[in-house]
């Protein structure tokens, strides 16, 4: 309200814009105080402020020559840059308006069977349990949050706890008793043999991609 601003300025010279005692900080901290001409375009830089100072004040550029006009080439280059920026902003808006590709892939599958389980877990942000295999049998299980999947059962899981088995080679020693006929004493000979052993392991993975041809079973984790 201009009337209230004038009353505030009259009550205190520190917030009167035309007073020698004007305090800019006090004016900023005064609620409702408006400058005499609030619609005047503000000056953005110190150089612009120096142009309105009287010539006798140090730092004034009131009498300085005006800068040379820009060439047509410079103006055209600036306009091309602005046009490019507007086109980039328009492309960004078009991309944001599109349906997310991961959501589009999830909704393109059937709502029945295993795909229905994956689709519900994707929508409700629930964890899934995936049993995986290798070329010799079942490898293990992965439990994590489903981030994406497609119609080929390729899946991306996040925050995954995996339990799996690996075949490792173990060197074992086998004993064999022999009897010497002359001294009738038994001796023991040791033989080494390389054996295969299944070892159970656990690990935590931040993000995991599972190929569809390695999936045996999928289920929802409560």
* Strand-pair category, 186-210 with 215-220: unpaired
Residue 9 has pLDDT above 80, yes or no: no
Question: What share of the chain has pLDDT > 90, as a percent?
Answer: 25
**Predicted local distance difference test score (pLDDT) of residue 20:** 83
State pLDDT tens for residues 92-140. Answer: 888 877 777 777 777 777 777 778 888 888 888 889 999 999 888 889 9
Distance CA 196, CA 167 (A): 6
Residues 147-192 have pLDDT tens digits of 888 888 899 999 999 999 988 888 877 765 555 555 555 545 567 7
Cα angle 58, 64, 69; round to 5 = 145
The first and second tokens of residue 84, run together, are: 């490019």
Confidence class of residue 79 from pLDDT cuts 50, 70 and 90? Answer: very high
Tokens of 220: 């929802």
pLDDT single digits (tens) 191-210: 778 788 888 999 999 999 99
The first and second tokens of residue 163, run together, are 């339990």
pLDDT per residue as tens digits for the range 18-55: 888 888 888 888 888 888 877 888 788 888 888 888 88
pLDDT of residue 176: 57
């Amino acid at each position: 309200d201009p009337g209230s601003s004038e009353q505030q300025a009259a009550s205190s010279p520190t917030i009167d814009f035309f007073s020698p005692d004007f305090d800019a900080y006090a004016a900023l901290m005064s609620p409702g105080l408006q400058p005499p001409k609030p619609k005047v375009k503000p000056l953005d830089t110190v150089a612009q402020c120096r142009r309105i100072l009287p010539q006798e004040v140090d730092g004034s550029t009131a009498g300085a020559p005006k800068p040379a006009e820009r060439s047509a080439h410079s103006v055209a280059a600036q306009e091309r840059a602005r046009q490019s920026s507007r086109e980039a902003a328009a492309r960004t808006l078009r991309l944001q308006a599109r349906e997310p590709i991961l959501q589009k892939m999830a909704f393109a599958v059937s709502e029945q069977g295993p795909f229905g389980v994956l689709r519900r877990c994707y929508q409700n942000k629930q964890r899934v349990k995936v049993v995986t295999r290798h070329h010799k049998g079942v490898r293990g299980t992965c439990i994590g949050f489903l981030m994406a999947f497609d119609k080929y059962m390729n899946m991306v899981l996040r925050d995954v706890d995996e339990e799996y088995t690996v075949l490792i080679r173990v060197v074992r020693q086998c004993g064999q008793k022999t009897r010497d006929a002359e001294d009738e004493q038994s001796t023991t000979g040791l033989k080494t043999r390389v054996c295969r052993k299944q070892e159970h392991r656990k690990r935590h993975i931040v993000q995991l991609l599972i190929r569809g041809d390695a999936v045996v079973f999928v289920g929802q984790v409560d």
